[in-house]
Each structure stands twice: as C-alpha cells, then as structure tokens.
Chain A
Amino acid sequence: MPFGRLVLPALLLSTPLLSQAVDPARTGLPEKSAGVVSYRIAVRLSRGEAESPQSLASPADSDPGVPLRYLNGRARIRYRNITEGSSSELRFHLYLNAFRNLRSTHLRESERLQKSYGSGRDEWGNKDEFGWIRVDELELVSGAGGPAEKLRQEFISPDDGNPDDRTVLKAALPGAFEPGSEILLELRFTAKLPKAYRRTGWGPGNFFMVAQWFPKLGVLEDGEDGRSTWNCHQFHASTEFYADYGSYDVKIETPAGWPVGATGELRGEVEQLIDGYERRLFYQDDVHDFAWVTDKDYKVDEWTFEGRDKQEPRIAEILETKFGYPGEQLRLSDVKVRMLLHPEHATEAHIARHRRAVEVALSFFGSRYGRYPYKTLTVVDPCRDLEWRNLGGGMEYPTLITCGTPPILHSRALRPEGVTIHEFGHQFWYGLSGNNEFEHSWLDEGFNSYSEGRAQDLAYNKLEGNPPVGDPAHVSTFGIIPFRGRSTGSLDGLGSGAVKELTTLRRLDLEPLLELTGAKEIKALLESINFEGEILPDLGALEIIRSLPFFTYERDVPHRNLYSDRARCLEAPHTDPIVRNAWEYLDRSSYRSNSYSRPSTVLSTLERMMGYERWWAFARRFHEQARFAHPTSQDFLRLLEEHTTDMPEVLSFARDAFFTTKSLDYGIEVRQVEEPEAKGYFEDAEEEKGQGDVTEVTVHRKGEIVVPVDLLFVFEKKGLVRERWAAEGQGNWKRYVFSAVQIREYGKLREAYVDPPDPDRFEPYVGPAGVYVVDSNLLNNSWQAKINKLPARHHSLRSFLWVQTVLSFFGGLG
C-alpha cells in the first residue's frame, strides 16, 4: 500500500484529550493512555541506502554478499499538544547518532564511565562499526501553520552544549503549535546501524537489535510564561527513555525467512515481496517506544500465560478490603508469550526456566500493581556484543524484553530468572509508568529492582520445580562454568603492578614490568607490533586448579536480592542523593547505586516500616496513578504522605533517604557492671553484701537518619522485654540500665537486639535484617551472653584451606 494512503487509526481520533501528568485523584487502573502521539512507520533492513525517495529498497539488497547495515524508513507522525501553552518548534531524539563518532556525548560519557567503572567499550574499529541516523526529509503536512514544504533542521545539545552531539534535532515550525491542536508530519530517514553496542546494532552472525532507531519526538511539557517547552534530552551513557504514549503501526521488511520479534502484535499475514524480502506489520497502542529484533538463527517458542487463578490471594484480599475491588476486577489477563532464542540457549532447561520466570513475573506484577494490559510479550535472547558480553544483559522495550542467558545453568543461581523478571518488571516501571528516566531514574530502575527482588525472593525461596531451581546461593563462575561457593580470600597484596601479577600468576601484564625497568626500547618495539601488554588473561581453568573451590570455598552462602541490593548500595559511597539527574551523578558507580540498589533497599525499608498491608495498598495506588502517566519523585512523596498521616517518621525517613546522602546505622553495646568490692565504711552486713551486678545496654545512633527503633531484650526468667526508642528528641545514644534488683527478678540478660528481625512481620522472612534493611551495619545490631565460636571458626577454616591450597599451587611452581 502506498505510504501516503495509510489510514490513521480510528482510535487516535476518538481518544479524549487527557493529561499525562499524575492525577492525584485517580483510583483504579486506567484502561487507555492519552494517546498523544501516533507513529506509522515503514522500515527495511537493507544492504544500502534507498535507491529513491519513493522506495525503501536499495540496489544492493539483491546481493547477499553485501552486509545488512542500513535502515531505510518513512514515517507519518501525528502529535497533539496536550499542554496549556504553545510551541514554535519540534524536538526529536535521533539516538543512533550517539554512535556516529567518539565525540558524541554518549561515547564521551562512556569513556569516562569506562575509566571509573570498567564498563563500556575498549576500542572502536573501522568506520563500519559506527552508526548514524539522518532525516532526509521532514515535512509538516498540517497544523502549526502548515502545510510547509520542508522544516528547517538543526542539531542542539540542551544538556551539555556539546557541539559534536547530534542526538537531539530541533525543527522550527512555521507557526504556533497551539494547545489542544494537532500536527501531522511526514518524514523520510536513513540510518546505519553500529556494531552491537549498548543494546543496539548488528552483532556477530545474523543478529540485529534495532532500538532507538527512528526519529522520536520528545515530550512537550508545560513551561513558564504560557509557553510550553520540550523535554528532549541528549542520549546519555546511563539513561535513554522519556516519551509520550501513543500508538505504533510499524511495517518491517527483512530478508525472507528471518524470525522477527517486535513491540506489539503481529497483524495480518507475513507478506512476501518480490526481491527476497518479507514484510510484517506490528501494531500497539498505549506505549511510548518501539523496538524490534531479528536473527536468521532464532528458534521460536510460543505459549500462552493464562491469567485466571494467578492472582495472589493475600494481595487480592488487601485490595478488596482497602479499595473494595471485586475479585473479577483483579483477575489477570491472558498473554501470548513468544520467546526468540539462539540455538544454544533453546534447550528444554533454558525454555522451562524462562517460562517459569515469565509466569512468576506476570503473576507478581499483575497481582500487586494491576494486570498487564497488553496481549503479547516477546522475550528475546540477545547475542553477545563486541566484547562477548551478552548484549546489554537485559533490556526493556514495550512488550519486548531482552534477557541475557548463560549457556550453562545452575539450579542455585537465578540466571536467567533474575534478568527475565527484572526486564519484565520494566513493563510496569518504565513502560506503563512512564517516568522521565533522565531526571528520576530511580522511579523505574529502583522501583523495578525492588519489585524484581521481592518477586524472586518470594517465588524462588525453595529449591523446587522441574528442573529444580531456587534457594539461591552464591555461585562463582570460572569462565562460563558456574560453581557454588564464595571465595574466602583474595590474591591481592604485594602492592600493585608487575611484581604482584607475576607472583600471583593472576594475569601477566608486561606493561608495568617495562615501566618498572624503564625498558623504553622494548616498550616501543611491542607497541610497533600492536602488542597491548597483557599476555595472560585471568584463566578460569587456572583459578580452578589454583584454589580447588570445591574444597576451599564457603559452599552454602545464601543469596537473596534483599541482601544483595543492600550490599551493593552500601558498597558505593554516598556521593549523591537518589533524586538527581542521571547524567549528573559523580560516576557510574553512583548512578548504579542510586538508581538501582539504593532505592530498592529504601523501598524494602519503607515496606517494613509501613507494614505489609498498608505498603501494598500504597504501592498499588501509586502505580494506578502513574500508569500511562509521567510520575515524578514528588508524586511519590505526596502519595506516601497521604497514606502515612499517622506515621510521620515514614515521610521523614523517605525525604532523608531520597533527597540526601544521609546514612542509617543503629548499634547495641552491652556491659555487665560488677558490684564494686566491699571496701570502705558500711553500716551493716547487708549493705556490705551489696545489690549485685548491673547490666547496661547502650543503643547508639551512628548514622544521621533519625527513626524510631524497636529494642528486644531476652532474659533468662522473664523472657522477652520490648522497648522502643522514639525518634522525637533522639540523641546519639541511649542507655538502658537493668539494676541488680531487676536482674534478680528477670534473670540474666541472654540476648539484646536493636531493630530485631521478625519472622512474623516480613515477607519473605530471611536473615538478620530488621525493619531498617538500609541499616549500614547489621553486625552491631545484636548481642548474646553465650559465646559461640562456631561461625568465626567455620569461616577461618575455609580461609585456612584456601590459603594452603593457593600456596601449594605456587609452591608447585617452585
């Protein structure tokens, strides 16, 4: 069908004008988005640029010897101004230009992150590895002073002023784009895909991940002085999503016989074209992005998730009680799941574990936040990128997720489950709740990490199923071979550089040795033959022989997301508050901590502070208000305040945790104070005998965050005694003194806890954390009179065996 005769979806015209800001009065799940934008795109994966403006095909398409690198596309975009002001311009994301050259903002930031975090790409090869996108024609068909022949285009860099960055395109309109009005644009674009990097591009073999691939409009927001402004950020190394909800109608042309996965539903039949290509139409309403993927080698597995009876009963009861939702309204919908797997990952075990993970995710997120509203979900097994890591590990796009899969699975390691559930969770926190990821990255990554962690901890608490999976433990990997255990030591020491590397045989790197000896000539010679210095990478096989992990590693070290998130967030220094523009965090470590693990840990703490029922009612309501909207951190706090009017400490804690770098740490110290000996003057024998020993328990507040904390004392005769240290007027410490009289009555103090763990209150209960999961030191939260040397000895035994084995290995070199 000729492009110009494409019919606009009737849905768009019938959608009422709705704001995408959070509606504080909203209760219940909205059925539809505001439908602000509509994209109708035709695109071809091609071997060259289109031969004419009327065609998507290239003359090279008939030559299979020419690699597929280009996207030739045309688009018709309809956009409505739902703000209260007008605008005289448009702004588009042209994010493939992030890979145009090394001076783009994305790659400059990546280079910086690489240095600070060790991630990113070591080097770029020839020009073929770079990518770009170009808008060949941009025409205003109607609205805002149109029609105009062509719109003037200009690249801008609103975030950092980088003149080399071409990821944001500004187009001047001939007239004002008035509130409530609509514009219709037509455009033609050409893109060249980069070699796979950061989730998009061509990979080894026949893999193509096509994301951030078309000119996508930014978000027009209410501004000052009656003018509306575009929120359209450059492509940064850390974050990339913010767009309006709407409909996508995308025709994709690929070489015949290649499986294609894409956002939305496949509509109609696959159309065979005469030049060895085929065309598919994918359609989806109420999403804010579109991605697709193809690989000649994919194996396809399709099945249907049946939502009936998958609602969690306890949550349903809470929602019925709190909000009066009838059971029928809470029922989950059926979803057609399509999995595209590389042949080596299409084993029965891989498929079964992916399936169970998707079912866990659909059930958990649907039950707690509201049913998944789309009919399809495509689960993609990505290829490896240039450095043979899984391409992005996992990534989210509307109704399409990529899930990095290890080739060898381990029953106690939740891979691929973790990434599958995480990426699915983004359908809710990123997809349905469309926060501005650039400015509030924690709202999607943090909320999702928290939810994903809870889903895993709940569903995989025990080793069960077929194949059996669960009770996750620390699993180390040697190369790609998973191995249960946790090393008790490290080979580090002896300063740094060549001596250490030589003596530990961890890896051999000549460069520091040459630096050390000042052998400039040899160094120059090595450089002349492109020798990079490293002659022995850290070999997994060597590691196995060197440390015999089955013998020396701590074997049963449990792994739960609650604690791994906590450990990750506490490892990173608190250099930034959680709420901050994502590209303005100090470094990659700070971004990751403040967007993922720290908000996740704070949310776990909030859940425990508020209690299960109140929290899940709140979380449900927040998602309802955020669904098909652009929520902000302030929206979250406003609703939290509404739900915790009788618990002011919750809001106070949330403000500290999200907007400051303050930490939380409570500790306990116990001292038995002996009665002083009877020296000096005494009136009588009874007085001389004395009262007896006194027990002092001192609770310390070592962090800056002030919250009320529970204390638990266990006495030999009396049993449990509970106290609460209130937040009001709380100092740095408080001492509880149990007099000799009390000790005689209660018996000796056996155990003491500040913020004790409580199996009856927390779901799922595991480990030593109490309410404040975010407490930075759990080692000082408890005390017992009895000495138990077993834990320390156990740990030291493994350490001893590890050292002995490592030294024997190095002795063997002697």
Chain B
Amino acid sequence: MSTGTMRRFPSSIGCLKLAPWAVAQVLRSPLALIVLAALLWILSAAAVLPGHARLSDLLDHNPLAAGYEGRFLLDDLDRLHPETMVSLGALPLAATLLITFFAGGILACIGITSGRRLRVSDFLAESGRYFFRSLRTWCLFLLALILWSWAVFGGLLPFLSDLFLAGGSDTRQLVFDLGTSVVWLLGFGLLLALRRLALARLVLLERRSAVVAFFGSIGLVLRRPFSLLTAFAGLFLIWGVGMAVVGLSVNRFIDDGNRLLLALLAGMAGGLVQQGCNMASFVMARRICALDLSDREQISEPTVVVPAGVRKAETRPEVAVSRP
C-alpha cells in the first residue's frame, strides 16, 4: 500500500515512509518549489552582490590576493572595508515571513492536486487565504519557544549545573553542554512540528482558532509520539543527507581547480534541498493530521485527489469528516 492510499494511521516504522512520500509530493509540484527557492536566492543575492562589487574593486587588480596566502588579506578587508562583509539585517525576518505566507498555500495545494499542473495564481491565492491563520500559529510557536527556552535555560540549566558541574572536569562540561543543547533542540523540533500540525488542522478542518488547533496537535503528539518522531526524523535525515552531498560537491568543485560556477550550481541545489524539505514538512504534517482524524473518527476513507483549480468549498478536505 502506498502512503498516498493509507487508510489507517501507520505504525511508528511505517511512518518512515511519510517523509519520502512528502518529498515526492513536493517534487511533483516543481513550480512551487522553484518559486520559493528562487525567492531565497534573490534575497541571498541581494545581500551579497553589493559587497561583491566592492570586493571586486579591491581584489581584482591585487596580485597578492590570489591563492591560499592571499586570504591573509581577509583581515584587512574586514577591518578596513566592512561593506564587503555580508550583513543580513532584516533578511531573516523577511525569510520567516515569506514562508509563513506560503505555508497555507503549501498545505492547500501541494500533494493534493493530481492530473493537473499547479497554477501559481492558485498557490498565491491559497497562501493569502490562510496567511493570518499561519501567522497566528507562528506567533503561538514563538511564544511556546520563548517559554521552552526559559524553562531550559532559566530554570533547568542553573539547577542542573550546580548539581552536575561540581567536579569541574571538561568531560562533564562537554556532556552538560551537549545534553542541554540536545534537550533544547528536541523541544525546538517538537514546537516546529506542532506549529505545522496546528496549521494543517486549521486548513483541513477550515477552522480559525490557532489555540484550539495547537492543543489538538498536542493531543496528537501525546497519542502518537513515536510515529511523529520517526516521521520527522526521517525528513531530517533526508535533509541531512541532501545537504551533506551538496556540501561535499561544493567543496570538491572549489578545491579541484576553483570551478566556481559548478560550485555555485551545487550550492543553489542546496537551496532546493532546504526548501524542498521545509515544504515537505508541511505536506507531511497535513498527511499525519488527515490520517489521525480519519483513524479517530472512523469516517470515510481519506482521499488524496482534489482537482486543482476547483473552489475549496466544493471539494474541501482531503479527509471528508462526517460529524455525528
């Protein structure tokens, strides 16, 4: 049985299939992927190009700038020409808002359409329709992240450090640092997943309350912790392998004779990997929500085919939820 036609919520191991399925769905809508990646490429280029022009002025005619030892000049560049250093300014905020805007479109369009190509206008329209719901879940995510960080670094960490670090060895310090980082990162990952699940619920059920959706998602996490863990870990693994391959390629192209164009193309492929995995995380969250709702309410089978371009009101959910 393919993931696309699953009727019941899969086992923890079975959830491993969700990540590749979600990535495949994203790849079936390359236009959306390229639009998102291109937007980040444009932002990245906007951050780098002004500095590059100045860098070019300073280095193109400098015979000492070439090669390994020429990089000693980087200190002078940083000190005397800070304009050549990339500074991100508000771009991280822009990137966050960008994906927050498109999150609804991803949930409403990717992996649902079949047989017809996704139209950019539909994608934008759906993104706009769910933007404020997406923004509300993002605000809740941020609040939860602050509370979680506070709990770990403001409460747990000082308490544990007194107990754990009394011996004063570096090994203990290392274990302690890594341990607290891993604990925080697990919570961070969980909150990212919760935010996706909550938005997926809002889109699936056409609800508006982000708070209720968040609590509903917490319930899902509590019911199926291992399934969710394997599903998102699978996606994280795909992301890691993809980026490792890209990273090795970039370094190889640079080390082997400065083939910078190839390195650039490989690096841009890294952008596709990152955006693809990010989009897949939303698609997967929707699928998990759909399966969970279907499983719990024992209703009609989940359907995966929604004709593109048809108004949502007519064909709405991926899961046809019948209420008692």
B115 at the interface (CB under 8 A from A): no
- Alpha-carbon distance A802/B60, docked complex (angstroms): 22
Partner of A811, one of B47, B96, B178, B185: B96
Q: Are B146 and A508 in contact (CB under 8 A)?
A: yes
Q: Is the CB of A204 within 8 A of B166?
A: yes
Query: Given that A343-B169, A790-B260, A812-B278 are known contacts, is A541 also in contact with B181, CB under 8 Å in the complex?
Result: yes
The answer to whether A805 and B89 touch across the interface, beta carbons within 8 angstroms, is: no
Contacts of B263 in A (CB 8 A): 797
A55 within 8 A of B: no
If A535-B149, A551-B247, A784-B62 touch, whether A494 touches B93 (CB-CB below 8 Å) is: yes
B144-172 with Cβ < 8 A to chain A: 146, 149-150, 153-154, 165-171
Q: Which residues of A contact B142 (CB under 8 A)?
A: 502
Is the CB–CB distance between A811 and B166 below 8 Å?
Answer: no
User: What are the interface flags for B170-189 relative to A under an 8 Å C-beta threshold, 1 for contact and 0 otherwise?
Assistant: 11011001100110110000
The B contact surface, by secondary structure, is helix
The answer, yes or no, to whether B73 is at the interface (CB within 8 Å) is yes
CB contact under 8 A between A804 and B41, given known A557-B71, A796-B48, A797-B267: yes
Q: How far is the CA of A748 from the CA of B186 in the complex (A)?
A: 64
Whether A205 touches B93, Cβ cut-off 8 Å, given contacts A535-B146, A558-B68, A808-B40, is: no
CA distance A205 to B55 in the complex (A): 51
Quick one: closest B residue to A471, CB to CB?
Answer: B68
Is there contact, CB below 8 Å, between A808 and B95? yes
Shortest C-beta distance, A412 to chain B (Å), equals: 13
Q: Is the CB of A757 within 8 A of B64?
A: yes
Chain B residues with Cβ below 8 Å from A753 are 63
Q: A207-B168, A407-B171, A779-B58 are in contact. Are A803 and B274 (CB under 8 A)?
A: no
- Which of chain A's residues have a CB closer than 8 A to the CB of B168? 203-205, 207, 383-384
CB-based contact B264/A792 at 8 Å: no
CB-based contact A788/B60 at 8 Å: yes
Other-chain residue from B92, B166, B182, B247 in contact with A504 (beta carbon distance below 8 A): B92
A window 530-555: CB within 8 A of B: 531, 534-537, 539-542, 545, 548, 550-551, 554-555
CB of B138 to closest CB in A, whole Å: 7
Within 8 A of B (CB), among A758-785: 766-769, 777-779, 781-785
Report chain A residues within 8 Å CB of B103.
814
* A799 contacts B by Cβ under 8 Å: yes
In the complex where A384-B168, A556-B71 touch, is A792 in contact with B59 (Cβ < 8 A)?
yes
* A648 interface hit (Cβ, 8 Å): no
**Least CB distance, A732 to chain B, in whole angstroms:** 19
Collect the chain B residues with CB atoms within 8 Å of residue A810's CB: 92-93, 95-96
Residues on the B chain within 8 Å of A508, using CB: 146, 149
**Given the known A-B contacts A494-B93, A790-B258, A814-B96, are A480 and B174 also in contact in the complex, defined by CB atoms under 8 Å?**
yes
Interface residue? B238 (CB, 8 A): no
- Whether A751 contacts B71 by the Cβ 8 Å rule is no
Size of chain B's interface in residues, with CB distance under 8 A?
A: 95
Mark interface residues in B226-266 (1 if CB within 8 Å of A CB, else 0): 00000000000000000100110011001000101001100
Instruction: Given A792-B56, A812-B274, check contact A489 B247 (CB 8 Å).
Output: no
Contact of A503 with B77 at beta-carbon distance under 8 Å, contacts A384-B168, A794-B260, A808-B275 already known? no
Does A787 lie at the interface of the complex (its beta carbon under 8 Å from any beta carbon of B)? yes
Is there contact, CB below 8 Å, between A479 and B88?
no
One of A388, A505, A536, A814 near B99 (C-beta < 8 A): A814
| Chain A interface size range | 35 or more
Q: What distance in Å separates the Cβ of A203 from its nearest Cβ neighbour in chain B?
A: 6
B85 touches A489 (CB 8 A): yes
- Chain A stretch 475-516: residues in CB contact (< 8 A) with chain B: 479-480, 486, 488-494, 502-505, 508, 510
Most chain B Cβ neighbours within 10 Å, of A539, A542, A556, A801: A801
B28-86: which have CB < 8 Å to A? 36, 40-41, 43-45, 47-49, 51-52, 55-56, 58-66, 68-77, 79-81, 84-86
**B302 within 8 Å of A by Cβ?**
no
Q: A567 to B170, alpha carbons, bound, how many Å?
A: 31
CA distance A205 to B66 in the complex (A): 51
Task: Tell me the minimal C-beta distance from B275 to chain A in angstroms.
Answer: 7
Contact A204/B149 with A491-B92, A788-B60 known, Cβ cut-off 8 Å: no
Knowing A503-B96, A803-B47, A803-B86, the reply to whether A791 touches B65 (Cβ < 8 A) is: yes
Known contacts A494-B90, A801-B267; A204 and B167 CB within 8 A of each other? yes
B residues whose Cβ falls under 8 Å from a Cβ of A: 36, 40-41, 43-45, 47-49, 51-52, 55-56, 58-66, 68-77, 79-81, 84-93, 95-101, 103, 138, 141-142, 146, 149-150, 153-154, 165-171, 173-174, 177-178, 181-182, 184-185, 192, 243, 246-247, 250-251, 254, 258, 260, 263-264, 267-268, 270-271, 274-275, 278, 281
Query: Can you report 14 A-B residue pairs in the complex whose CB atoms are below 8 A from each other?
Result: A408-B174, A490-B85, A502-B142, A536-B184, A551-B247, A768-B72, A777-B80, A787-B61, A792-B58, A796-B48, A804-B270, A806-B88, A808-B40, A814-B99
Query: Which A positions have Cβ atoms within 8 angstroms of B?
Result: 203-205, 207, 342-345, 383-384, 388, 406-408, 479-480, 486, 488-494, 502-505, 508, 510, 531, 534-537, 539-542, 545, 548, 550-551, 554-558, 560, 563, 566-567, 570-571, 751, 753, 757, 766-769, 777-779, 781-785, 787-797, 799-814
